[in-house]
Each structure stands twice: as structure tokens, then as C-alpha cells.
Structure 1
Amino acid sequence: MTRTRAVAALWLAIGALLVGAGAACADVTVGVAVPRTGAIAGIGEQVLQGVQAAVRDANARGGIAGEPIVLDVQDDACDPGQAMAVAERFVRAGVRLVIGHVCSSASLAASDVYAAAGAVMISPASNAARLTDRGLPTIFRVSGREDDQGRLSATILAERFRDKKIAILYDDTPLSRNLAESTKANLNKIGQNETLFAAIVPGQTDDVALIKRLQGAGIEVVYYGGHYQEMGKLVRKAADAGYRPQWFGTSGIATKEFGALAGAASDGVLMTFNPDLRRKPEAAAAVKALQADGIDPAGFTLYGYAALQALAEAGNFAKSTDPKAIAETLHAERFTLVLGNVGFDQKGDVTAPGYVLYVWRDGVFTYAN
């Protein structure tokens, strides 16, 4: 071999090594789609903080299949149209692993885009049954389902308030409407009928008139299937008017902003929500780390953490960042997450326990007796 050819061969070998090293150190981008503006930005912030903490911990252990994780965070504003635009942006950019979305309407719109592109989506918060009932193979969630929450709500209403006049209110979002309808159907199945079943339009309904209508009908228990902004205002305004029924909310009010909006009137408000992961021994290290950063991992924070954690664990089990391999692994295996030791069924629903009852006291919510 001539000296020139030997030098050329040496540089080719060095180049191959550099390319291999570069490939080994390539980042894997995970998209994060949450509401950072709009009515439920507070819940979006909870999820994002959990995801960021999980990325830090996963990267300390080697990322996904040896590749460091970087986040591409986008705001969907809890809007289906914007959520679809975010999903299309991710797909165009080659992002095939996504944590999101939060609102059921946003998740339903975006999931069709991800499914068509073969991208994995894990929602930390959406509970619409239809999200997973369609059987899309790359769509998952770590939170509970609306039908499970509706059954629990109806059981609580029947057991605790059998002789009370109950109103069931909802707004025009899939979360609210579906939860209200599920609660009503299950309550009626038990043999108890509500006194009032009515829709409201957030930002347009006359709250004072609504409160007078509830009072006039002698309503003693008000179930509301919507988010914290509207319910927080209703609870506070009703108390200001001297009307204090038993208020009963859902996972849509599981954020400190509800307590701030309702003020002292939030004391005693009941709420169904996912189990408090801060009590899980498997979550102890994550809780400690978040608290050290000044973050109270309440509400959906650890569900954001769990979504990213599931993605990383599946990728590491499969030794791949390929979305198809990760999706197949999520369906087939069990993982020790902050949720406990869990898997995902063929629909994409997590096998963790569903919902429990909480009560608000002094601006925070805790398990109810």
C-alpha cells in the first residue's frame, strides 16, 4: 500500500469512528404538548414540571437506549385545533415520541395525527374513554378513564346524599359533558334521580342567575364536571350570596388555582381524582427531588413524570428509540414507575388503580374519609 493510500485509509477509519461516536451520542427528542396558556395552564405547568424532572432523572441513567433526551415543549392551549397543529409540527420535525396532551378534546384531535404517523403518544391527564377505545396501537395514557370516574362519583352521591336534591352541571367540553353524562347514567342505574341536569357556558353563563336557579330548586348538592376556573368562581360567588350547598368536583379542579379562586369557600368541596402518587413508595425519590427544587408534586405533576418514565423504561427494555418497538413493549411488559408496578392493556390504558375521593381543606386537597 502506498503512503498516500495508507493515509487515506487512516482518515476513513477515523471518520467512521467519529460518525459512530456521533450516532451513539445523538439526542432523542421527546415532544411535550401541554396547555401553557388558557383556562387550565395551571394543570399544564404541573405536567411540565413532572416531565422535566423525569427527563433529568432518566438522563442521569443514560436516557433512552443510551441516547440523551431533549424536550420540545409546545403549547396547545387546551384547544383541539391548536393541538392538531402541534401534532403536525412534531410529525414534520421527525418527533415520534410525545408526552401529551392534557385536555381530552386536544388529545382526541392530536392522537389521529400521531397514530397515522406511527408516533407514540402518552397522555398524563386525558380521561375520555374514546381516546383509547378506538384501539390505536401507539396511543396510551397514565391517568384514569372518565367512565371509571363517573361510576365512583355516582356511588358517592348515592351513598352519601341519597335523600338530597342533586344538580349535575357540565360545560361544552368533552371532559365535562362525558363526566356529567357518565355520573348521571350511573346514578340513575343505582336508582336515584338528579333534580337538575344542565349545561353552562363558561364565560357566558350568568353566574348570579345560575346560583339563584339552584337555590330556587332547593339544590343541596352540586356536581360540576368541568375545570377549576369556572367551578372556583361558582363556589366563591355562591358563598358570597349565602348559598353553601355541598359542591362536588372532578379531576378538572385538582390544582391549587381552584383553592385560590374559591377562597375559604373551597373548604369541604369534594373531588374525585387519581390516587395521590406522593404516597407511593416507588415515587419517594422523585418526590424528594421535586421538593428539593421547591416544587410540590401535587395534582398531575407525578403523572407527567410517570408518562416520561414509561416512555424511557419501554425504550430501555426494547433497547431502541423506535416508536413501534416502544409501543409494542408498552403493551407487552410491566414497569416499576412512580405509579407502582404497572402495565398497559391492549387499548393503551394503564393498569394502575383508578380514582379516589378527596376533600379540600385550607387551599389543598387530601383523601376524604
Structure 2
Amino acid sequence: MSTRNPGSLIARIGASLIVLGSASAFADEVVKIGHAAPLTGANAEWGKDTENGARLAVEEINAKGLVIGGQKVTLELDAQDDASDPRQGTQIAQKLVDDKVVAVVGHMNSGTTIPASKIYSDAGIVEISPSATNPIYTQQGFKTAYRVVATDAQQGPALADYAKKTLGAKSVAIVDDATAYGQGLANEFEKQAKVLGLTVLSHDATNDKAVDFRSILTKVKGEHPDIIMYGGMDATGGPFAKQARQLAIGARVLGGDGLCADSLAKLAGEAADNVVCSIAGMPLEKMPDGPAFEQRYEARFHQHVQLNAPFAYDAVYIIVDAMKRARSVKAADILASMPGADFVGVLGRTQFDAHGDLKQGAISLYDYKGGKQTLLTVVKM
């Protein structure tokens, strides 16, 4: 038979509950930031680079300690795979909403960013794309839509200007991969090409899963263009340039940021030296904090920056800056705070116009020499 005093036991339990309650009151609030990009498929390498950039920012912020409105906050990155597929992109967007993220860094591709944006708009959740360049994304009237890169309305004309003024081209054949990104970029290029007096000989479409371009390229060869503009990603753009070389087509191949990656040299082989591509932003080495960011990134992930990592990194910091200014981690308060963004980070100074686009943008043009990407020029927008 126990000889314990029931009253004493109850007192000890009560005291323990008080201690536990006090600890709970001071526990960090966990706040989820969503991230969506292709982590499988042909664009997985790019998508993982984007996720790594966002993850590095989250880890740094947590290590320094974050307090919002007097409450300690721990960030959690809710990273999801949209596989560069529009249907999967909308499913992932809804999952992130259901996961109660307060903001989203993503999506990577215009083809997933645009359909997903309606879901975030309906939920009142800020979406900052680190890489989607199709102008339509921020022209839909959604107050939730932002991006930290220039648009194809700037990138396409920059490529056309280079073709005309630097390469001296008089005629062009255009091919796109029929995605929102590839087609959008090609269309913007074509508009400016016509304004500049370039003759557009043809505009053909393939798809983003294609591996054989010989039929289109044989047709293009017969047109004798001075340049070929390709709207699409490196997974198809690399083989496209390689097969153009195999068919003895001497025209330079121009493309956007989808082509502008180290992997292009592997996919195109020696034909990479015939490619000129653009990036909708400053080159990493010319970003104010670019070299230091690159060192931190490589130390953490033991690999080189592909392209989008610094843009995703700053996007996280911009979201956190909105939290600080709002003194809140609620999605609605973050959204209300976003128009006042004036953040200085790796990319330099970031401010947004009324559409959610950058007030200050830049387009960087590159070519390849011996398979190595080389900066040609930077065009400030």
C-alpha cells in the first residue's frame, strides 16, 4: 500500500505543468515558406539549384535568429517538385496552400508559374518567382505575383538588338518549344526583330520533350538565315545546336536564359561555341554580393551555382523583410507589406513596380569559347 501524500503529488504535477506551460510560451513559432521547382525530369539540375539558394537563406536566417513582433521565429522550407509540368504545378501550389505556407519562392518555369499563380492569388499568398520571365505572369492583375528577374519583354528585344547591331544579321529563322517560356521569349524576340528591320523567314514550333530536330533544321537550312533564334531550355536547345552543326548550318544560334547554363556545353558539344544566350539578370560575378554568395553556396552544397540560386536566395530574404516591416508572419500581412519592398541583397537593390516586376533590371549576354561560358555584355533596363 502506498504511503505517498496525494496532495503533495498533485502539487508537484501542477508545478510541472506550469514549467511546461512557460517553456511552451517561449518556444519558437515555426513558419513555413514554400518552394516549388522541378526536382525531377530534364530541368531537375536547375530546380535543385533554385531550391539550394532558398534553403541557404533559410538556414542562415535561422542561425542568426529571427524575431518578428517580439516572437522568436524558426523558418521551415517546404520544398516541392513540380517537374516543370503545368498540371503538377497547380497540384503542388494547392498542396503548399494546404500546408499553410505564408509565402512561396517559385515556380521556376513560366509554364508552371502562370497556372499556379491563380491558386496563390485566391489564397492571398505571396509568390515570388526567381526565374519565370514570361510577361503574362505579372500582367494578370494578381496582387500576389512578384518576380526578381527581368522579363522576356526585355530579354527578347536584347537578343534581337544584339543580332542586328553586333552580329549584323539581316534574316532570322525562329524555333520555339511551344512552352509558355519558350514561345513567349520567341514572340518577344520576333516583335523586336521586325521593328529593327530583320526579315523573319519562318517561325516553327517543336516541343520540350523533343530529341530530333533534323526535319525543322533541314527546312531552316534551305532558308539560309543569318541567325537562328531558339526559345526553350538547354535540355532541347543543346541537341538543337548540335544537330544544326551536324547539318553544316553556319548560322549562330541565339537563346534565352533557358539555354544559358554550364550544361549546354555538355549537351551541344563543340556546337556550344556557336551559341549566344542571355540571362535575365546580372552575372553572378557582377552582383554586389555575388562572389561571397558563391563561396557560401559551394561550401554548403559542394557544387557550383547553376543560375537561379542567388535569385531564390534573395527572394527568401525579401519575404522575411516583409515580415519584419509588417511585424507579422501572417500571409495577409506579408502580402500587404510587399509593395513597399526596398531590399539590398546579393542581387543589389530590389524594388517592385505596381505589377510586381523589378523597377531596375538587367540582361546579360554570353557566348561560349571552348565550351566555357563567357560574358559578352550587360544591358541595363
Would the TM-score normalized by the shorter structure come out above 0.5?
Answer: yes
Larger CA deviation: 316-325 vs 94-103: 316-325
Q: Does 1:95 align with 2:95?
A: no
Partner of 1:269: 275
Partner of 1:362: 370
Distance, in Å, in 2 between the alignment partners of 1:357 and 1:204 is 26
Distance, in Å, in 1 between the alignment partners of 2:244 and 2:157 is 27
Larger CA deviation: 152-161 vs 26-35: 152-161
Distance, in Å, in 1 between the alignment partners of 2:18 and 2:169 is 82
Distance, in Å, in 1 between the alignment partners of 2:253 and 2:275 is 5
- For residue 131 of structure 1, the aligned residue among 137, 141, 160 is 137
Larger CA deviation: 116-125 vs 283-292: 283-292
User: 1:292 is aligned with what amino acid?
Assistant: A
* Alpha-carbon shift at residue 58 of structure 1 (Å): 1.5
- For residue 20 of structure 1, the aligned residue among 8, 17, 25 is 25
Partner of 1:236: 242
Q: Does 1:56 align with 2:62?
A: no
Q: 1:352 to 1:288 in 2, by over 3 A?
A: farther
Partner of 1:169: 175
User: 1:278 is aligned with what amino acid?
Assistant: E
* Alpha-carbon shift at residue 368 of structure 1 (Å): 0.7
Which residues in structure 2 correspond to 1:30-69 (within 5 Å)? 30-63=33-66, 65=68, 66-69=72-75
Distance, in Å, in 2 between the alignment partners of 1:181 and 1:172 is 11
Partner of 1:334: 342
SS of alignment partner, residue 264 of structure 2: helix
Partner of 1:182: 188
Q: 1:46 to 1:7 in 2, by over 3 A?
A: closer
Partner of 1:247: 253
**Partner deviation per Cα, 1:107-162 (whole Å, 9 max, x = no partner):** 11111111111112111111111111123122211111111112212211221344
Partner of 2:290: 283
| Contact 1:30 1:98 (C-alpha < 8 Å) held by counterparts | yes
Gaps of 5+ in 2: 1-6
TM-score by length of 2: 0.89
* Alpha-carbon shift at residue 3 of structure 1 (Å): 9.5
* Alpha-carbon shift at residue 326 of structure 1 (Å): 1.8
| Contact 1:357 1:367 (C-alpha < 8 Å) held by counterparts | yes
TM-score by length of 1: 0.91
Q: 1:292 to 1:205 in 2, by over 3 A?
A: closer
- For residue 84 of structure 2, the aligned residue among 78, 82, 88 is 78
User: 1:31 is aligned with what amino acid?
Assistant: G
**Partner deviation per Cα, 1:340-362 (whole Å, 9 max, x = no partner):** 12212221112332312111233
Partner of 1:207: 213
* Alpha-carbon shift at residue 246 of structure 1 (Å): 0.6
Partner of 1:345: 353
Q: Does 1:224 align with 2:227?
A: no
User: 1:317 is aligned with what amino acid?
Assistant: R
SS of alignment partner, residue 289 of structure 2: helix
- Higher RCO by CA contacts (8 Å cutoff, separation 6 or greater): 1
Partner of 1:111: 117
The structure richer in strand per residue is 2
SS of alignment partner, residue 37 of structure 1: coil
* Alpha-carbon shift at residue 314 of structure 1 (Å): 2.1
| Contact 1:278 1:297 (C-alpha < 8 Å) held by counterparts | no
| Contact 1:133 1:347 (C-alpha < 8 Å) held by counterparts | yes
Q: 1:62 to 1:281 in 2, by over 3 A?
A: same
Equivalenced residues, count: 366
SS of alignment partner, residue 74 of structure 1: strand
Q: 1:180 to 1:27 in 2, by over 3 A?
A: same
| Contact 2:228 2:253 (C-alpha < 8 Å) held by counterparts | yes
**Partner deviation per Cα, 1:279-306 (whole Å, 9 max, x = no partner):** 2233343222113233322411211212
Identity of aligned pairs, percent? 26
| Contact 1:28 1:64 (C-alpha < 8 Å) held by counterparts | no
Cα RMSD after superposing both structures: 2.3
Q: 1:163 to 1:5 in 2, by over 3 A?
A: closer
| Contact 1:340 1:352 (C-alpha < 8 Å) held by counterparts | no
| Contact 2:46 2:306 (C-alpha < 8 Å) held by counterparts | no
Distance, in Å, in 2 between the alignment partners of 1:29 and 1:123 is 17
* Alpha-carbon shift at residue 16 of structure 1 (Å): 4.0
